[in-house]
């Protein structure tokens, strides 16, 4: 008798635990309603073109307080995200808001 982890040769008979019940034909599925571009989920998602674009970055050196760095690292671990990306996103959002207010 073969064990579960041993391979069966094609000419060997199947063990009792290898027999599967035959599946019957699948039930037909109901057709899905077409997705409209105005559906709320599509309105809030970026277009594929926006997903492809990744702004180029510039490497810098920055001195942060130990408290700020520890906080970003904790949040990054909690959210399974790089803390450097969180800091970059925070700065990018700050710049967007300042530009929207007309502050140069």
Q: Given this model, what pLDDT does residue 93 score?
A: 86
pLDDT tens digits for range 38-61: 656 555 666 666 666 667 888 999
CA separation, residue 28 to residues 21, 23, 33, 35, 69 (Å):
21, 14, 15, 20, 55
Q: Given this model, what pLDDT does residue 104 score?
A: 77
Domain residue limits, the chain: 64-104
Q: Is 80 left (phi over 0), alpha (psi -120 to 50) or beta?
A: left
pTM for the model stands at 0.48
Q: Which residue has the higher pLDDT, 36 or 95?
A: 95
Q: Which residue has the higher pLDDT, 37 or 13?
A: 13
Angle 83-100/66-79 helices, nearest 10 degrees? 100
Angle at 62 between CA 58 and CA 67, to 5 degrees: 135
Residue holding tokens 């399974």? 80
Q: Given this model, what pLDDT does residue 42 score?
A: 53
Q: Which residue has the higher pLDDT, 36 or 103?
A: 103
Q: Given this model, what pLDDT does residue 60 score?
A: 92
pLDDT tens digits for range 61-96: 999 999 999 999 999 999 888 899 899 889 888 888
């Amino acid at each position: 008798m073969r064990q579960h982890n041993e391979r069966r040769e094609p000419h060997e008979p199947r063990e009792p635990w290898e027999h599967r019940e035959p599946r019957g034909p699948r039930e037909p599925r109901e057709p899905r309603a077409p997705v409209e571009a105005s559906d709320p989920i599509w309105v809030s998602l970026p277009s594929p073109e926006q997903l492809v674009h990744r702004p180029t970055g510039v490497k810098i050196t920055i001195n942060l307080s130990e408290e700020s760095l520890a906080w970003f690292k904790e949040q990054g671990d909690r959210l399974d995200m790089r803390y450097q990306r969180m800091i970059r996103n925070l700065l990018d959002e700050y710049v967007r808001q300042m530009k929207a207010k007309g502050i140069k």
